[in-house]
Amino acid sequence: MIFLKCLLSHLSPILCVVSVVMMSATNVQADIDAREFSDPQKRQTYLDLTRELRCPKCQNQDIADSNAPIAQDMRQHVQSLVEDGKSHSEVVDFMIERFGEFVTYKPRVKPATYLLWYGPWVLVILGFFIILIRVRTTPRPLASEDENKEPDPQEQTDMRKINALLSKYETLDDQPDPNLPQTNKDP
């Protein structure tokens, strides 16, 4: 009995983890779309359409990947329209008419979507012109202006100090350092 209690106390965390994994595995099921079509071309059209149409509930998920009830309904409509011989564009038109322009990832170019289609290009061109105008109107000093310019008195003082320090170190480089061993430079 003691052995059984000891075994269960050590196995209980493992059993808990295993049971949680087993229970969660039953919830992770792929929605397999086992729809039957009269020919392979219609199946391919169906697959293309379900990847192209967006689920109204899931926002950025196509109806092929969505498990929402509205997406299941939309897949059923797509299948029936494709089986009835409707073309790709006719199915898309039907879905847009029923659910609105939102169901397609590529909205049509019309006055209501001009801003969506042309707005980014207008902003890029506008940005280019702003940069071009800024570059052309920014005053650049000419080389002749720099040469004719009177040096600042503080700048002259600083330059004299720098030159004095440099000349001091140049003269030190010419003298041998007594702390370093002497090397014969003659070959």
Q: Which pLDDT tens digit goes with each residue over 65-123?
A: 888 898 889 999 999 999 888 888 899 999 888 888 888 888 788 888 888 889 999 99
92 exposure class (CB count in 10 Å sphere: 0-12, 13-18, 19+): buried
Predicted confidence band of residue 176 (pLDDT cuts 50, 70, 90): low
> Rounded to an integer, what distance in angstroms lies between the CA atom of residue 51 and that of residue 36?
18
Task: Report the chain's mean pLDDT, rounded to a whole number.
Answer: 77
Q: Which pLDDT tens digit goes with each residue over 41-57?
A: 888 888 888 888 888 88
> Rounded to an integer, what distance in angstroms lies between the CA atom of residue 57 and that of residue 94?
18
Helix ranges, 84-184 (H): 88-99, 114-137, 143-148, 153-174
> Rounded to an integer, what distance in angstroms lies between the CA atom of residue 28 and that of residue 18?
15
Least Cα distance to 53 among 44, 63, 65 occurs for 63
What is the pTM (predicted TM-score) of this model? 0.48
68 touches 54 (CB < 8 A): no
Residue with tokens 């480089």: 173
Q: Which pLDDT tens digit goes with each residue over 127-172?
A: 999 999 998 888 776 655 555 667 688 888 998 999 888 887 776 6
> Rounded to an integer, what distance in angstroms lies between the CA atom of residue 79 and that of residue 45?
9
- More confidently predicted of 181 and 41: 41
> Rounded to an integer, what distance in angstroms lies between the CA atom of residue 148 and that of residue 175?
40
Low-confidence winner among 23-27, 127-131, 150-154, 181-185 (lowest mean pLDDT): 23-27
